[in-house]
Structure 1
Amino acid sequence: MNAGTSSGQDWAFKAQPHAGRVAVVTGAARGIGLEIALRLARDGARLALADADAAGLEASAAKVRATGAEVITAAGDLSLEATAEALMQATRDAFGRIDILVNNAGGGVILPFLEHTPQTLKQTIDRNLWTVLWCCRAALPTMQKQRYGRVIIIGADSVMSGLWAHAAYNAAKGGAHGLTTGLAREFARDGITVNTVAPCAVRTPQLEEIAAKDPALVERFVSIIPMGRAAEMAEVASMVSYVASPEAAFVTGQVISVNGGSTMRG
């Protein structure tokens, strides 16, 4: 192959890199998921938004529709196989294809490990790993038929930094990081890329809720970030939009940190 070719991909910069594409965003009722949905909508995508919070999901969908984007919603527990399958079928029914899957649904119970209960451990694994497994399994056959797809998993920089009170959460997110490399190799010849975007502490409503209960803990989270602040949600969404784009056709199997330098690799 000529080193200057791009396997048929049109990777030239576009003002709306996702024009004509269909994106599924999970965990879209608020926070990072909503910010990602808004960014992809502004970048031209049509969207299927999912969350367990039906009321919050509809409120978020209204904000995304205000950008001019076409949007459908599907509420339910994505840690269940049937819910993930129904989401992808609804997306195919509405738009005829699935180009981008953003696995953002999550939200761990942040506790010192020995303070976890069997219920909180299961909840953390269900939200952050089973949602990803089922959604990928439901979406990948469509992408394979299309010979095009972008799978993005929202991981966690804490998997690498070993953040306080994150052991169970890191077990779930670490599983998702491992899934990234396996799927990336398995589907590399199908025009599908698989990457994880791994933020550090992000200034979300969820972080503000933790700060209200335990401000010292959040200060510790931020203390390991050389830039001295949490990430903005828009900074995470920007990276997601890039790896979801045609321009990122040769980026796959990567865990990409958006972390202000909290972990660094040479």
Structure 2
Amino acid sequence: MPAGARFEGRVAVVTGAAGGIGGGIVARLAAEGAHIVATDRADGLKQAVAEAAGDTAQEWVAVAADLSSGEGADEVVNTAIDRFGRLDVLVNNAGGGIIKPFLDHTPESMRETVDRNLWTTVHCCRAALPHMLAAGYGRIVNVGADSVRNGLYDHAMYNAAKGGVHGLTTGLAREFAPSGITVNTVAPTGTDTPTVLSRPPEAVERYRKTAALVPIGRFATVGEVASAVAYLAAEEAGFITGQVVSVNGGTAML
């Protein structure tokens, strides 16, 4: 662990930890000294966290849970308290969109999109906030989406769910600011996760065209998104709250 690590002694819950961005967040927070409680409903969670955290990380634990229910969120937060006695940071990264034209959605696919992205965040915030209030300190960082701002094609339902996350951010930020708790959102544009990089041949041209819309000319790296999350999750970012921070290569400005 590096000397003077920003998260030494801190405990962070990271949701969606088995995925590309989630793994990058785990790696970054663990490298800076955090104890990690990682959760996902995907197979291979423990192995993914072990690979992301590395051999020199502080103690961590993986919890398989469905966060679209209050019970799943409670289990994860209670694990943090039981194992480490505290909860300092909550990173709500669980999500994943069902991306299709709006009229092609079914009631089931719409419900799943909202469950994955909005309800996971709501339930985890409700589970974590009482402990942060008791401690007089907390950092909540939600992972939103830049497509909420730019109206990306075929993303209407996904944007409805992620837009809810953005709105939840500002409401919670104002409500809990006097209690030493900050709430912010990091909103990435397209990101070169392993899933994106392994895209099938028929998706290559769509990837190229989408990346060309970004002024910097490429998608974000996982590390660039994780860096923004880590800053907002740190004690030094204590005067930043209620913000949606775009990591988008200039796709939308101001």
Amino acid in structure 2 at the alignment position of 1:60: A
Matching of residue 257 in structure 1 with residue 228 in structure 2: no
Consecutive unaligned residues in structure 2, runs of 5 or more: none
Q: Match of 2:44?
A: 56
TM-score by length of 1: 0.91
Q: Match of 2:30?
A: 41
TM-score by length of 2: 0.95
What is the Cα deviation at residue 61 of structure 1? 2.2
C-alpha contact 2:13 2:38 (8 A) present in aligned 1: yes
User: Where do 1:1-266 residues align within 5 Å?
Assistant: 15-53=4-42, 55-63=43-51, 64-208=53-197, 210=199, 212-265=201-254
Q: Match of 1:7?
A: none
264 and 86 in structure 1: CA distance in 2 versus 1, 3 angstrom threshold: same
Consecutive unaligned residues in structure 1, runs of 5 or more: 1-13
Aligned residues, how many? 251
209 and 163 in structure 1: CA distance in 2 versus 1, 3 angstrom threshold: farther
Deviates more, 1:200-209 or 1:166-175: 200-209
Q: Identity, % of aligned pairs?
A: 52
What is the Cα deviation at residue 114 of structure 1? 1.6
RMSD: 1.3
248 and 203 in structure 1: CA distance in 2 versus 1, 3 angstrom threshold: same
C-alpha contact 1:211 1:217 (8 A) present in aligned 2: no
C-alpha contact 1:91 1:98 (8 A) present in aligned 2: yes
213 and 117 in structure 1: CA distance in 2 versus 1, 3 angstrom threshold: farther
Displacement over 4 Å in runs of 4+: 209-213
SS of 1:73's equivalent?
strand
